[in-house]
Chains A and B, each alone.
Chain A
Amino acid sequence: MRDKLNRLFAPLLLPALSVFTAMVLGGVLIALAGGNPLEAYAGMLEGAFGSPRAVSETLVWATPYILAGLSVSLAFRGGLFNIGAEGQLAFGALSAAWAGHWLPRLVGGGLPAALHVPLTLLLGALAGGLWAAVPGWIKARAGGHEVISTIMLNYVALNVVSFLLNGPMKDPTAANVLSRTPLIDESARVPALVDGFRLHWGFPLALLAAALVGWVLQRTAFGFEIRTAGQSPDAARYAGVRVGRTVIVTMALSGGLAGVAGAIEVSALHHRHELGFSQGYGFDAIAIALLGKAHPGGTVLAALLFSAMRSGATRMQYLTQVPIDVISVIQALILLFVAADTLVRRIYRVRARGERLVLTRGWGG
């Protein structure tokens, strides 16, 4: 029994210590800025969980975090560093906005919600997946490193989205001056989970996605291929895995998850694509995936932590005048300590256990 508990909680020790250390340093920063760290954190906690509405908002934040975090985690398991979740998410959102508004007009007539909602999300996944398959292809073909190509595609996506939202896809309503699409049809909207709250069915869907990713990675032959290609491409090739194809498919699946994240934001929350709706989900997702050790369960936990911080931050700022930006610093520090686990081990004198997960392998691929 004790052994079992140990096995269950031991992997949480280092991440927890990393978060703790980052919060302490964040507290120092808050104090330097003239705030009271304890009050600030109390405010954050209240903002995140202090009322049913607060909890609902935290989970609303958690939805894209979980999905984008899974996107990055899945890629990590395949030996790929997907920094492009932000761009894939934007394309997923764009595609959902199109499916929600233009698709019914294209086919001439309304669609039933039972068809329209899944279609909207699916097209979002498809757009994100195709967008992510490009760096996968570049890597498989020429070994061009996915880190640079996904970053470049983020900027391309940003420009393309901005072009479309200011041009062909701009809400044509005369009063509209913003870069945004028209509202999507009612039939394309993911419904709320509880009446009167913003929490929507996207959240359970994200949890389901986490379970699915875990199952595929750990329990299927295809997941075995992804992991093998990730841990040792040479051994994978020897074992008969078509590594290039696996890389492309892994990137596509990873992008698909980010695409769904974007599609759900449009379909369940904003009901349109508005420039800048993503508050850096795709970048926070990197820290989330790493904090979760690229494990689906860990990713969900890390996403909940991050969303609590984000959603509690507004309340914190309101109560203590500590600016929201401190959250970004704390999250970057969390990433720092998760990455430099030897440093954390040294601080707290925790001994190393087991093998390290190989995440990336320099330019060589």
Chain B
Amino acid sequence: MVYRRYAFIAVVVSVLVLVVVLVGASQVPPLTIVASMAATTLAVATPLTLGALSGVFCERSGVVNLGIEGMMLAAAFSGWFGSIYASAVLGIPPLPSLLLGVVIAVATGALLGLLLAALAVTYSVDQILAGTVINLLAVGLTGFFNRQLFFGPASAFGGQVPHAPGVLPRLHVPLLADLPVVGPVFEQQPIAVAAVVLVGLTHLVLFRTRWGLRARAVGEHPRAAATVGIDVVRVRYVNVVIGGAIAGLGGAYFTLESVPSFEPMMTNGRGFISLAAMIFGDWTPFGSWAAALVFGAAQAFQINLQLFRDQIPPSWSFLQQSSVVGLVPYLLTLLILTGVIGKTTPPAADGQPYEPEGRR
């Protein structure tokens, strides 16, 4: 089963890369194209990777996080607003402003994680519903504040929208980034690098530490965990808040690393796709990352194809339309949900509110 899923990932990614290589071969050496695809894939997979890790953290402890989309959106906005406020009103230089923005975004995610935990753990609200509440709340609040803070009568900038402090700079991974041809793959921005580091870190925490063992126990059989003295409620709260913080970092990617602007609903379903990646990745950090890379590759495909738009034969020109190529990640998600490529098993107590002993 595992083999089948990874084979699927490999095939899809190869096909996408191959098409771009075939189209662009007359202009650019194939290896350069492959490197460019790899670099873009890693970059654009960032929010999906982080979203999936957020899901892994929450769901391994037994809380379904359907609010990743909303957490990302809210974090994208608050981080963006924070960085602009810091640079334009407080006069802080761009880089510290951006970093402050990242911190604010992460805090926003954590705060919404706290809300999710309160709803799901303390108030036993249906978890899918709780996530939906967070999503709608995020859409409403970001829409309201976006207008209010930038354009409204009580605007923080007196009606004048100031310039954003740009985006986070690329990091130059020593040695690797100096390699010929494949060098660009290792020249990534900080959140993209953090996402990859977090994949390993999440794996370590979940499968090699005491906390991870207890969290997984809580996600599989909360009552059993409680009988050996583990505080189920606390474990779930902590994990969901961490998950929220990671989703917040994913949100920061949109406005502080990808583009220096905010648009309402700009996360565009990435939070939901990352849940599909998590499911496809069997609730493991590395599996989720691999699945996120497939979606990243689909997006990289669209971006890289733009570079060679003149090379595309007229009969294939529909590939350029964003509404056609843009479908790929969504269709991939649907395909995965049909179970054709194998089914995975969630933690046994995923989505179930924990009711302590003695309540019937």
Contact = CB atoms under 8 A, between A and B. Distances in A.
Nearest to B146: A325
A144 B339 contact: yes
Of B136, B336, B339, B343, the most chain A CB neighbours within 10 A belong to: B136
B132 A329 contact: no
A159 B324 contact: yes
Contact of A34 (B124, B143, B153, B350): B153
B124 A325 contact: no
A29 B337 CA distance: 40
B276 A148 contact: yes
Interface stretch (B15-23, B164-172, B204-212, B326-334): B326-334
A290 B126 CA distance: 12
A145 B337 contact: yes
Interface residues of A, number: 53
B337 A148 contact: yes
Interface stretch (A93-101, A208-216, A240-248, A330-338): A330-338
A138 B343 CA distance: 12
A149 B331 CA distance: 9
Q: Which size bracket describes the interface of B in this complex?
A: 35 or more
Contact of B326 (A81, A148, A159): A159
A328 interface: yes
A55 B221 CA distance: 54
Given A29-B144, A148-B276, A163-B321, A138 B334 contact: yes
A159 B336 CA distance: 20
B357 to A, nearest CB: 19
Interface stretch (B242-250, B267-275, B308-316): B267-275
Contacts of B127: 362
Contacts of A134: 334
Interface string A300-328: 00000000000000000000010101101
Interface in A25-51: 29, 32-34
Given A33-B154, A159-B327, A360 B334 contact: no
Contacts of B337: 138, 142, 144-145, 148-149, 152
B133 to A, nearest CB: 5
A325 B272 CA distance: 24
A61 B215 CA distance: 47
Contacts of A144: 336-339
Interface in A320-358: 321, 323, 325-326, 328-333, 335-336, 339-340, 342-343
B64 A362 contact: yes
Contacts, number: 157
Interface string B252-282: 0000000000000000110011011001000
Contacts of B273: 152
Nearest to B131: A147
A155 B346 CA distance: 25
B141 interface: yes
B129 A323 contact: no
A332 B131 CA distance: 12
A189 B47 CA distance: 45
A359 interface: yes
Contact of B119 (A147, A332, A339): A339
B139 interface: yes
Interface SS of A by simple majority? helix
Interface string B149-189: 00011100000000000000000000000000000000000
A339 B133 contact: yes
A145 B276 CA distance: 10
Given A144-B339, A340-B125, A325 B64 contact: no
A55 B109 CA distance: 41
Nearest to B144: A325
29 contacts: A33-B144, A34-B154, A138-B338, A141-B338, A142-B337, A143-B343, A144-B336, A149-B337, A152-B331, A155-B269, A156-B327, A283-B136, A286-B136, A323-B152, A328-B139, A332-B140, A335-B132, A335-B133, A340-B125, A342-B124, A343-B123, A359-B129, A360-B128, A362-B127, A362-B128, A362-B346, A362-B352, A363-B351, A364-B350
Given A148-B272, A340-B130, 16 more contacts: A142-B337, A142-B339, A148-B276, A148-B333, A159-B327, A159-B330, A286-B136, A290-B129, A321-B153, A323-B148, A328-B144, A329-B144, A331-B140, A332-B136, A342-B123, A363-B350
Interface of A: 29, 32-34, 81, 83, 134, 138, 141-145, 147-149, 151-156, 159-160, 162-163, 166, 283, 286-287, 290, 321, 323, 325-326, 328-333, 335-336, 339-340, 342-343, 359-364
Interface of B: 64, 66, 119, 123-130, 132-133, 136-137, 139-141, 143-144, 147-148, 152-154, 268-269, 272-273, 275-276, 279, 321, 323-324, 326-327, 330-331, 333-334, 336-340, 343, 346, 350-352
